[in-house]
Structure 1
Amino acid sequence: MGIFKPSIKTIKSTSYQLLKGLGGGILILLSLSSTAVTIDNLNRDLPDFSYAGYKNGAEPLAFATANTINVADYGAKADDGNDDTKAFHKALAAASDSDSPIVVQIPAGRFIVSDILYLERDNLILRGAGSGATTLYFPRPLRYLPDPPELAELRQYLKTMNKRQREKSHNIDLAFSQYAWSGGFIWTRIKNERVKPYLEEYDQQPAPLALPTQGKRGDDRLKVDNASQLRVGQIININWYNREGKDSPLLKAIYPGVEVTGSHHWNFPNRPLVSQASRIVAINNNTVVINDVLLHDINGLTTDITQKAYLQNIGIEEFSIEFPRSAYVAHHVEQGFNGIYLTRLFDGWVKNIDIINADSGILSEESANVSISNVATKGDHKAHYTVAMGDTHNLLAKNITVNNTAIHPLSFNTFSTKSVYTGCEIYHAPILDQHSGANHQNLFDNITLHATLDTEQLAQRRYPAFKGGGAGYWKPTHGAGSSFWNINVVFKNGLDVAKPITLYGVDDGPNANVIGVHGNTDIDIEYGPNANIKMQNKAIHQAPSLYQYQLQQRLGGE
């Protein structure tokens, strides 16, 4: 498998057409001035994002379960105003004692929970009666709970580096919270496993299972020196290291043609700069076939294959998460009204969840092949994140509705690769954020932004739709292959001036694909360097979702 590369040539046309191609494929022609280009041609040189999601998008969000445990049987009682935490802990403990795939069922009604609910076993579904029927209400933030041992390194890092939020105009000089980008009341966790590396003193170099010797970016197979420690079905981490400094071949592959200024790219030579979590589907002698495709070439780069512990087949679905209304203090000093924290999860999902008044709705670290779908964030509280991707591979966020104000409404964070936001809608202060730290080959797909221009933006006819967050030691904002497809910007004002509105915000992320960005008024796009900007001011009606189009091509459907 790999990137779909049709041999169809561009065809002259002045109208839209939809034609059936050979072998069940679809050929779509789009009018572009007097010359039409095919969706296939637009897609040809883009990364293949179709592997994102649970089971690489090839299976429904479900698995067969043998048993059901109901939290009501352990003492949880809806709508009585009493705390139900102990009952939830007992139900989850009983689920952990079972060897069979299991559902922990939450009935309709409102339940009060004041502690973290850890999901720590494979083949587990935490299920409510529907997002409009079941509510988990968390009355206190995480800061009032005992410090999670898995965040001990983060706490030490924040103190050692004196991480503080300083805003002179607001008289703020406050220490960062450990919950600014970590932690959650529903937490997939492998107990005592390091969530994320921060301090070198805790680094332990794992022994490689094999050394890759050959492989091409976009291929689903690679050769290794010795496959004796590998097996079919095994989850492996294919790692690329930068041990050659500022001008290394790996940095040139991630950031072609631009200067890399962030020192973290070369200051940690024994940590992978890129790591791809994949499952082995076949082994033939020393040729290994994986469930997706290689992020980068093997030849000429420093690589190895290691293994981490992952949870598998965890589903979180069909309920609401609600927090009390609380004062917003400052960026990075959040109290910890965080909903779901996905760590070390491979093949899992979150679906049909409403999240109200959160500091962060869903956070993720070191997870892959996860689907997050039909999630709505809402409430009066200003959030840090809604649904954020950090150190993810093949994570799919589909149909995310952002009805609250958030600093980073949708965000690809450090080390995210081949992850996708698709079919999302942002109603307040919308931006598309990429948060630095070797994140690359990610996709914003078929997203609608509802934007209101402030007085200065109206005067300048400029709106910061693209944002490059993160620390300077991880710049540039993103690497090559980061893509935008069929982005619709609906301006609520400023439509009475016959002058385009310029979308801007990222000037250092190289080789982005910006295709089909349009609005309810003419727009201009500033994006650099070497951005591939096509179909500006044209909606892509025939293939509104690149992810879905690529998935259909790969699976052979229509």
Structure 2
Amino acid sequence: MPGISRRTLLGGAASLTAAVGVGAVTSAPARALGASSVGTADAAALWAEYAADPYRHPQIPYVGRAGAFGGARELPRPEVVASALDFGADPEGAADATPAIQAALDAAAEAGGGAVLLPAGHYRIDGLLHIGADGVVLRGEGSGATVIEATRHLTDLVGPYGSRYGGDKSSWSWGGGLIWLCPKDRWQSLTDAIRARDWPFEGWTGNVRDAFEPLTALGPATRGDWTVPVADTSGLAEGDRVLLRLSDDADHTLLAHLSGEVPGTADYDWASCTKLTSYVPHEWPCRLAAVDHDAGTVTLDRPLPLDARPEWEPQLTTLVRPLLGAGVEGLTLRCPEVPISQHLLNPGFNGVALQCAWDCWVDDVEVTHADNGFLLVAAKGCTLRRTTVSGRDSHHPYACREGSHDNLVEDFTIRAATSGSPNASLHGINVEGLSSHNVWSRGTMEMGTFDSHRGSPFANVRTEIVVNNNGAHGGDATAGPLFGARFTHWNVTVTNGRAGMIRIDELAPYSATVAISEVEEFGQIDEPDFPGELHTRLESYGTPSAADPVNLFEAQRELDPPA
């Protein structure tokens, strides 16, 4: 196969050193990348190869149904059922509008869903806004017209939120939002526990594993299958939202499978990765497109993301009910321009968080001066469209974590910072914690990087992006590898010539780096987690203009699923 490369080892064994609190990326000398990595095919030839068998390609994942409602181009437009002005919201910003806006959101929930209109104006909120009911949408009149001015952070509003992993870290550094979409019961139990300082606790992302009930055993089946055998169809019906669970074995062969089972996975010290092993059983929400009771099979709404081998006890279980069909549209959320805190001590000037959400969306929303801009936490099939992070430095402009799958971030912008802090670590577009099949498409990044934050995220795509690659990735040793298998970077223009986290053919197993700018290593330099053959592809290197198709996600979106 053309373009197969072998990682040139930099000193032998893989480094598991935590990559947090990194200084300027120009602090280390440049390093030439292996010229032998360059493939003999080009983007068009690789696409033709992929399209011949799109659901099982070794390097490129199928993400054509990422986003809300299976990647729908048109988002729902529910009718307005309430105006925040009718509940007393002050569009001049003189009075706290939190109670009025929240009352309007609650009224929409009582009505069974619908949009809450927030007309053009400046609204001061001294609290946070929570959307916890299906079908409720907070709708402004455009990000340039409706502005919400936040005055307080989440530590002040809810309380100090310590890390379940101990130490003095603040979980507001990667969770929670001043506009927070999360099922009502999950959000209430979470915030009650934070206020009571009852942490660490089960279900901090909203996924309480003890609440799941087995439905049927699954498989065996192979990655890419749409129709899979099950032991018992009696409790299943078309349209059911269920959870696929895969349990690891004593030799951690499931974790090796997530990384493509390259030779280096055999000797990797999986047992020391206590944060990573806490993420398994691996959980993937899916919807049943069909149930064949006679054949004893179910057809999924998208192809199986991993093999379902008997040793991993594959099963379908019930799913803790997610938030469905909710959204935020047409507004700017502006936080105070205060200096960003020391790394991992963010107080919670966070923007929009989607937690335990499915088929939810954010459209035409800008977040300014935030610790964290947009957070996807245990989120499934959500769309972030026409979103912008601006103002002073952000810790995570975008974060996708805790088993978030099949989400789409498109037409996004990260503006250059108006102010910064030497104590902060800017990441960029983050993915971690076994998150998979997420897409970042058509983006402009004036700062940041393609941050893979350890925890073996796999099968994620970044495509048609222009980036000033000046950020740093994060993650500590206990979270395991930076990359699982099948990361693809397709049509990426790097304006400052830095390779780190974007050219990944010598770093990420079974990955594809296609039509990116010519780059070199400098600053934060990583060794591979797995020594030996990585089975990667590097095609149309140095020529983003050669990307054919231009956008990998859009091309996949046009592929018809099997009959």
Runs (5+) with no aligned partner, structure 1: 1-8, 11-30, 149-153, 163-174, 453-464, 492-500
- Post-superposition Cα deviations, 1:37-93, rounded to whole Å, max 9, x if no partner, equal 25322555221111100111135111444x520000000121142111111121122
Does 2:60 match 1:74? no
Give the deviation of 1:527 after TM superposition: 8.2
The answer to whether the 8 A contact 1:78-1:111 is kept is yes
CA distance in 1, matches of 2:134, 2:344: 32
Does 2:482 match 1:474? no
SS of the aligned residue for 2:468 comes to strand
| Partner in structure 1 of residue 242 of structure 2 | 236
Does 2:106 match 1:87? no
| Partner in structure 2 of residue 548 of structure 1 | 554
The answer to whether the 8 A contact 1:425-1:448 is kept is yes
The answer to whether the 8 A contact 1:517-1:536 is kept is yes
CA distance in 2, matches of 1:40, 1:353: 36
Does 2:426 match 1:414? no
State the TM-score, normalizing by the size of structure 2. Answer: 0.78
The counterpart of 2:212, out of the listed 185, 190, 206, is 206
The residue type equivalent to 1:49 in the other structure is V
Going from structure 1 to structure 2, the CA distance change for 1:83 and 1:504 (only over 3 Å counts) comes to closer
Give the deviation of 1:490 after TM superposition: 1.5
The answer to whether the 8 A contact 2:163-2:169 is kept is no
The counterpart of 2:460, out of the listed 432, 439, 442, is 442
Going from structure 1 to structure 2, the CA distance change for 1:363 and 1:33 (only over 3 Å counts) comes to closer
The counterpart of 1:367, out of the listed 376, 379, 383, is 379
- Post-superposition Cα deviations, 1:367-396, rounded to whole Å, max 9, x if no partner, equal 1111101111111x2211112111211000
Give the deviation of 1:434 after TM superposition: 0.6
SS of the aligned residue for 1:393 comes to coil
The counterpart of 2:170, out of the listed 170, 177, 184, is 177
The counterpart of 1:226, out of the listed 219, 229, 232, is 232
Going from structure 1 to structure 2, the CA distance change for 1:305 and 1:339 (only over 3 Å counts) comes to same
Going from structure 1 to structure 2, the CA distance change for 1:515 and 1:268 (only over 3 Å counts) comes to closer
The residue type equivalent to 2:220 in the other structure is Q
SS of the aligned residue for 1:548 comes to helix
Return 535-544 or 31-40, whichever deviates more.
31-40
Does 2:310 match 1:297? no
The residue type equivalent to 1:69 in the other structure is A
The counterpart of 1:56, out of the listed 70, 88, 93, is 70
The answer to whether the 8 A contact 2:275-2:479 is kept is no
The answer to whether the 8 A contact 1:69-1:95 is kept is yes
| Partner in structure 2 of residue 345 of structure 1 | 357
SS of the aligned residue for 1:90 comes to helix
| Partner in structure 2 of residue 186 of structure 1 | 179
Larger RCO (alpha carbons 8 Å, 6+ apart) = 2
Going from structure 1 to structure 2, the CA distance change for 1:322 and 1:287 (only over 3 Å counts) comes to same
Runs (5+) with no aligned partner, structure 2: 3-38, 192-198, 418-424, 529-533
| Partner in structure 2 of residue 272 of structure 1 | 280
CA distance in 2, matches of 1:139, 1:192: 26
CA distance in 2, matches of 1:226, 1:142: 46
The answer to whether the 8 A contact 2:500-2:521 is kept is no
Give the deviation of 1:345 after TM superposition: 0.8
Going from structure 1 to structure 2, the CA distance change for 1:298 and 1:266 (only over 3 Å counts) comes to farther
The counterpart of 1:432, out of the listed 426, 434, 450, is 450
What is the count of residue pairs matched by the alignment? 481
Return 56-65 or 415-424, whichever deviates more.
56-65
The residue type equivalent to 1:443 in the other structure is V
| Partner in structure 2 of residue 393 of structure 1 | 405
| Partner in structure 1 of residue 290 of structure 2 | 282
The residue type equivalent to 1:177 in the other structure is S
State the TM-score, normalizing by the size of structure 1. Answer: 0.79
Give the deviation of 1:119 after TM superposition: 0.6
Going from structure 1 to structure 2, the CA distance change for 1:554 and 1:449 (only over 3 Å counts) comes to same
CA distance in 2, matches of 1:271, 1:382: 30
The answer to whether the 8 A contact 2:117-2:138 is kept is yes
SS of the aligned residue for 2:257 comes to helix
Give the deviation of 1:312 after TM superposition: 0.8
| Partner in structure 1 of residue 10 of structure 2 | none
| Partner in structure 1 of residue 9 of structure 2 | none
CA distance in 2, matches of 1:555, 1:220: 9
CA distance in 2, matches of 1:200, 1:311: 19
Does 2:136 match 1:124? yes
Going from structure 1 to structure 2, the CA distance change for 1:251 and 1:32 (only over 3 Å counts) comes to closer
Give the deviation of 1:206 after TM superposition: 2.8
The answer to whether the 8 A contact 1:241-1:269 is kept is no
- Post-superposition Cα deviations, 1:118-169, rounded to whole Å, max 9, x if no partner, equal 1111111110000000001101111111339xxxxx63625xx22xxxxxxx
After TM superposition, the runs of 4+ consecutive aligned structure 1 residues lying more than 4 A away are 31-36, 194-203, 264-271, 505-508, 521-528
Going from structure 1 to structure 2, the CA distance change for 1:120 and 1:542 (only over 3 Å counts) comes to same
SS of the aligned residue for 2:108 comes to helix
The answer to whether the 8 A contact 1:261-1:473 is kept is no
CA distance in 2, matches of 1:446, 1:91: 39
SS of the aligned residue for 1:531 comes to strand
| Partner in structure 1 of residue 195 of structure 2 | none
CA distance in 2, matches of 1:264, 1:236: 31
CA distance in 2, matches of 1:287, 1:265: 36
SS of the aligned residue for 1:361 comes to strand
The answer to whether the 8 A contact 2:65-2:302 is kept is yes
Return 469-478 or 104-113, whichever deviates more.
469-478
The answer to whether the 8 A contact 2:380-2:405 is kept is yes
| Partner in structure 2 of residue 484 of structure 1 | 489
Return 74-83 or 392-401, whichever deviates more.
74-83
Going from structure 1 to structure 2, the CA distance change for 1:59 and 1:220 (only over 3 Å counts) comes to farther
CA distance in 2, matches of 1:272, 1:54: 25
Give the deviation of 1:204 after TM superposition: 2.2
Structure (1 or 2) with the greater strand fraction:
1
The residue type equivalent to 1:235 in the other structure is R
CA distance in 1, matches of 2:490, 2:43: 20
Going from structure 1 to structure 2, the CA distance change for 1:87 and 1:483 (only over 3 Å counts) comes to same
